[in-house]
């Protein structure tokens, strides 16, 4: 019986996030020697999506492609962890204290997110440059971001009950994702 309210709250949060698309200023891309096509693909991604850029230089093109994709996805995962950290910090401020339980919850959800599959993430561009670097841009749409965070929160709430309210507040999640949407896009790799 307790599962139904959680599922309804999850569905409501994902729905409200999907309809609350906000326009944000264009982000810049941090990194040197990024091919123009990769920069353009990252800039063409929806403004509220999370973007990861990865690169690798390896003698085997298939291995370089796999490593570049892993690095791009790891960059998105890092962004998700930033959103979670912001949400838990906002929750602690709203609650008037930074509790040990909130910190344990944050650590647990960060661990769950680091193992996340990032369902809905798509490769929007990839190329190998003349110098042997393999580049890839991966995008995770905002509603998939919300689903990943809420799924991790549900899993983590079993271990730290009572703190998962930090993750169910849609306005708190929107604020945290908006802040991350404004952040510069970093390149993971640099081989």
CATH of the domain at 100: 3.10.129
Output phi, psi for 51, to 5 deg: -120, 135
Q: Quote the tokens at residue 143.
A: 């509603």
Please give the residue range of the domain that contains residue 22. 3-188
Q: What pTM value is reported for the model?
A: 0.73
Q: How far is residue 132's CA from residue 29's CA, in Å, rounded to a whole number?
A: 21
Q: How far is residue 106's CA from residue 112's CA, in Å, rounded to a whole number?
A: 10
Say whether pLDDT at 125 is over 60.
yes
Q: How far is residue 50's CA from residue 181's CA, in Å, rounded to a whole number?
A: 7
Instruction: Specify the number of domains making up the chain.
Output: 1
Say whether pLDDT at 55 is over 70.
yes
**C-alpha pair distances (Å), 47 with each of 59, 102, 182:** 34, 30, 9
Predicted pLDDT of residue 57: 95
**Average pLDDT of 122-137?**
95
Higher pLDDT, 171 or 187: 187
In three-state secondary structure terms, 71 is: helix
Say whether pLDDT at 105 is over 50.
yes
Q: How far is residue 37's CA from residue 100's CA, in Å, rounded to a whole number?
A: 46
**Average pLDDT of 9-31?**
55
């Amino acid at each position: 019986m307790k599962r139904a309210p959680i599922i309804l709250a999850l569905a409501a949060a994902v729905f409200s996030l999907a309809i609350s698309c906000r326009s944000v200023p264009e982000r810049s891309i941090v990194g040197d020697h990024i091919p123009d096509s990769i920069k353009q693909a990252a800039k063409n991604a929806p403004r509220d999506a999370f973007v990861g850029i990865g690169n690798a230089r390896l003698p085997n093109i298939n291995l370089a492609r796999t490593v570049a994709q892993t690095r791009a996805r790891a960059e998105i995962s890092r962004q998700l962890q930033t959103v979670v950290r912001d949400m838990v910090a906002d929750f602690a401020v709203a609650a008037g204290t930074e509790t040990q339980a909130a910190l344990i919850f944050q650590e647990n959800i960060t661990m769950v997110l680091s193992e996340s599959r990032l369902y809905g993430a798509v490769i929007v561009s990839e190329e190998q440059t003349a110098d042997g670097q393999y580049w890839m841009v991966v995008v995770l749409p905002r509603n998939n971001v919300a689903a990943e965070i809420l799924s991790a929160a549900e899993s983590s709430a079993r271990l730290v009950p009572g703190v998962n309210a930090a993750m169910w507040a849609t306005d708190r999640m929107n604020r945290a994702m908006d802040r991350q949407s404004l952040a510069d896009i970093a390149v993971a790799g640099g081989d």
